[in-house]
């Protein structure tokens, strides 16, 4: 089972330091740092990491239609092979999808006013 095992400071530039989640599983040979995309909120990041762990623990390899609290991810496609690169890619897809949905919901709210 995958779980959060801590957080580590990562440096992405002169003044860009991020406190990123580290996840691990006894069945996987190394710990994985889940990249926090620039500009996302800490709430979005935490929810996406929790969602990622849920997906990894379910071993999903087909299309996903997952509702996780207010984090909605639709049609996340492709096979999930657990290694550093794919975990990071999956996390980034989670964030990208989530941010797009939030932006659309905000535009709808503005139009309704």
Q: In the chain, where are the structural domains located?
A: 3-112
Helix (H) or strand (E) holding 10: strand 3-11
Across the strands, what pairs with 76? 64
Which residue from 94, 111, 103, 3 is spatially nearest to 44, judged by alpha carbons? 94
Query: Could you list the pLDDT tens digit for every one of the 113 residues in the chain?
Result: 888 988 888 776 777 777 888 888 877 666 777 777 666 778 878 877 887 787 778 765 333 343 333 333 333 333 334 445 556 566 666 666 666 666 777 777 788 77
């Amino acid at each position: 089972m995958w779980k959060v095992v801590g957080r580590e400071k990562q440096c992405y530039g002169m003044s860009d330091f991020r406190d990123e989640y580290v996840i691990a599983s006894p069945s996987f040979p190394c710990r994985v740092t889940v990249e926090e995309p620039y500009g996302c909120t800490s709430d979005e990041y935490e929810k996406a990491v929790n969602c990622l762990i849920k997906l990894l623990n379910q071993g999903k390899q087909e299309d996903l239609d997952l509702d996780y609290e207010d984090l909605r991810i639709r049609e996340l496609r492709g096979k999930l092979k657990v290694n550093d690169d794919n975990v990071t890619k999956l996390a980034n897809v989670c964030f990208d999808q989530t941010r797009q949905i939030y932006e659309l919901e905000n535009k709808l709210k503005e139009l309704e006013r």
